[in-house]
Structure 1
Amino acid sequence: MALPPHHPVPALPKEGLIGLIAPAGPAPLDTEKAIQWMRARGHELRIFPGVYEKDTYLAGSDEVRLNDLHAAFADPEIKAIICLRGGYGTPRLLDRIDFDLLKRNPKPFVGYSDITALHLAISRYAGFVTFHGPLLNADLLGDKEPPTVTSFFSLLRGQVKAGSALNHPAAYPLTTVEPGIAHGRLLGGNLSIIAATMGTPYQIDPEGVILFIEDINEPLYRIDRLLTQLRLAGTLHKLGGVLVGDVAGVDVEALNRLLEQTFAPLRIPVLSGWRSGHCDPNLTLPMGALVTLDAGEKRLVLEQDVVISR
């Protein structure tokens, strides 16, 4: 039985202040470029201290990164939060997050890759919609194709309503791995992070879920190993369907053969090739939202409003 949808969050208003945090890895930031990019689209940018820090492969200490996460959610002036980059670091924070604080201050939270750990944790313990979407450095300031920015703002501003199919560029054909229709909560993100949280209090609750997966720098045999881990853990058998995003660096035909081998015995719909993840364009997806996946018709339909007007 499918789980209920997550709560929508307040929409990003015109001229709403956006907070920038770095909960994972470090990256140099062209501050003036970032501020001007946001201003050109009607938003000011508040940059939290950890964005400018570096602790080996982390953007500052755990304390700095955790404090920035909490401060961004607690600040009533911040209307949406975007992450600087992925990399590694967010799993280290999970058992120290004040989820009651997050529940009291829901707002659009955006990122992907290592940020998947936060999407999974917020899903389980705060219960509001988050957004698997662009990072500031790699995507928004990286001049990715226009659908990256259009998808990001249209979802956060509430321009995509319940009953609408999410747009997918025709230039990037989708593949029906297994036909069928599934209705459920969209959850997931980076496959390596999903697997890394198995056996922890932050693992995905798969009952009736439409699982979204993507990855990078993982050869086909490792993707096989990760999917096999989820199968042996009993996760795949509880899913309602699967949406496969970009798996960067893996041959598409070989990937689809592996997906067919993995999911055909489960008789659930599987749609592959969705342009979300480490790719260009990188389309935003609402994590925790109720959706309908029609793999045969290659459509993903939003079945709830993911943001609400303030």
Structure 2
Amino acid sequence: MSRRGWPNKATAPSCHSRRHHLAGSDAVRLDDLHTAFADPRFAAVLCLRGGYGSPRLLDAIDVDLIAAHPKPFVGYSDLTALHTLFNQQAGLVTFHGPMLTTDLLRYDEPHTKHSLWAQLRGEIGAGSTLLHPADYPLITLHGGVAQGRLVGGNLSMLCSMLGTPWALQADGAILFLEDVNEEPYRVDRLLNHLRLAGVLEQLSGVLLGDFAQTDPGKLAALDMVWQDYLLPLSIPVLGGWRAGHCTPNLTLPFGALVTLDADRQTLRLDQTLFTAETPDETRAHHHPA
């Protein structure tokens, strides 16, 4: 397996490749991913955009290499597959956050940029509350307080991984969900899939992100779906968090220990992200899978 560098470049070859609906072949994209982590010149791995293709790499990723070279990994949507693997098998805390072409270069949005850089620069530590802009009111669907690892991502992607060795491990977790261009009946089907797979009953809390491009006339139907599947769990559920296919797109530290307070509508980070001084439940860059 090649570990080639990219002389005088900070973008991988696959960023300029195309193979039908993919950004290059699986072999090229896999090698780029390994190189991005192994090369000490790169302090972080920021994804350009989503789409589809990350799940095709799961069974070929060198987990030991990733775990041996921990560094921030940033992306969302299709990258949910890699977040889940890196959190569970490589023991990384990763960052569900904005991508370069989709968010950072397209929109000059201050909340998006501040949320990302504050976390990557280590300005947010244990005990810090992750800020949410007041212009976007949050909604408490079910009150209460819960602590757990923050996991999740794109709802469609999470369901596609069920039944595989890379399926989400949600025991005691705070589950974050987002998606785009999904009708309420499809969200219903996806949540029912999680329910029947036993995922929902394992959770300590739920944080709902943006479900973008939902027809305003169908929001009542979507609210009904949340109520039908989440309220019977009797756990804290907070909705309206601006993360996912939206602007602003706030960064969330996946794999990190957090406390969700649905009554006060806050999300608190309960561990440091970039030092070894972390709670026993998790490690900043590496925790037991």
**Please, what TM-score do these two structures have when normalized by structure 1?**
0.84
* Aligned counterparts of 1:192 and 1:170: Cα–Cα separation in 2: 29
* CA shift digits 1:27-46 (9 cap, x unpaired): xxxxxxxxxxxxxxxxx971
Q: Which of 85, 103, 115 is the matching residue for 1:121?
A: 85
Q: Look up the equivalent residue of 1:124 and give its one-letter code.
A: Q
Match of 1:305 in 2: 272
> Cα RMSD (Å) of the superposition?
1.4
The alpha-carbon distance between structure 1 residues 292 and 107, as it changes in their structure 2 partners (threshold 3 A), is same
Look up the equivalent residue of 1:131 and give its one-letter code.
F
Separation (CA, whole Å) in 1 of partners of 2:143 and 2:102:
34
Counterpart Cα distance in 2 of 1:296 and 1:256 = 19
Distance verdict in 2 for CA 1:112–1:45, change over 3 Å: farther
Q: Report the counterpart of residue 62 of structure 2 in structure 1.
A: 98
Q: Give the one of 233, 238, 263 matched to 1:271.
A: 238
Q: Does 1:63 align with 2:30?
A: no
1:46 aligned counterpart, secondary structure: coil
2:223 maps to 1:256:
yes
Q: Describe the shift of the 1:257–1:98 C-alpha distance in structure 2 as closer, same or farther (beyond 3 A).
A: same
For 2:222 and 2:19, locate their aligned partners in 1 and report how far apart those are by CA, in whole Å: 36
Asked whether 1:52 is paired with 2:16, we answer yes
**For the residues of structure 2 that align with 1:215 and 1:308, how far apart are their CA atoms?**
32
Shift in Å at residue 133 of structure 1?
A: 0.4
Q: Deviations over 1:72-119 (max 9, x none)?
A: 000011100001110000000000000000010000000000000000
Q: What residue is the counterpart of 1:9 in the other structure?
A: none
Give unmatched runs, 5+ long, in structure 2. Answer: 1-5, 277-289
- Taking a change above 3 Å as real, the CA distance of residues 45 and 305 of structure 1, as seen in their structure-2 partners, is farther
- Aligned pairs for 1:16-27 (under 5 A) are none
Residue 13 of structure 1: aligned partner: none
Structure 1 stretches of 5 or more lacking a match? Answer: 1-20, 22-43
TM-score by length of 2: 0.90
Which of 154, 170, 177 pairs up with 2:141?
Answer: 177
How far apart are residue 261 of structure 1 and its match? 1.4
How far residue 257 of structure 1 moved from its aligned partner, in angstroms, is 2.6
**Could you tell me how far 1:217 is from its partner in structure 2?**
1.2
Rounded to whole Å, the distance in 1 between the matches of 2:220 and 2:123 is 35
Does the CA contact (< 8 Å) of 1:177 and 1:256 recur in 2? no
Aligned equivalent of 1:228: 192
Give the secondary structure class of the aligned counterpart of 1:79: coil
Question: How many residues were matched structurally?
Answer: 267
- Aligned-residue offset at 1:307: 2.1
Query: In the aligned structure 1, how far is the partner of 2:170 from the partner of 2:245?
Result: 24
Superposition deviation, residue 144 in structure 1: 4.2
1:255 offset after TM fit, Å? 2.5
- Cα distance in 1 between the residues matched to 2:231 and 2:44: 39
Contact 1:208 1:240 in 2 (8 A): yes
Rounded to whole Å, the distance in 1 between the matches of 2:148 and 2:172 is 6
1:77 is matched with which residue?
41
**Correspondence 1:246 to 2:210:** yes
Cα deviations by residue, 1:47-74 (Å, 9 ceiling, x for unpaired): 1111000001100000010000000000
Structure 1 letter corresponding to 2:124? V
| Superposition misfits of 4+ residues, deviation over 6 angstroms | none
- Range with bigger deviation, 242-251 or 223-232: 242-251
The equivalent residue for 1:30 is: none
Q: Which residue is equivalent to 1:3?
A: none
Q: What is the DSSP-based 3-state SS (H/G/I as helix, E as strand, rest coil) of the residue aligned with 2:44? A: strand
Pair 1:205-2:169 in alignment:
yes
Q: Give, in whole Å, the separation in 1 of the partners of 2:41 and 2:213.
A: 40
* Aligned mates of 2:9, 2:115 — CA distance in 1: 19
Do structure 1's residue 289 and structure 2's residue 256 form an aligned pair?
A: yes
Aligned AA (1:294): D
Distance in 2 (alpha carbons) for counterparts of 1:256 and 1:185 = 25
Inter-partner Cα distance in structure 1 for 2:107 and 2:156: 26
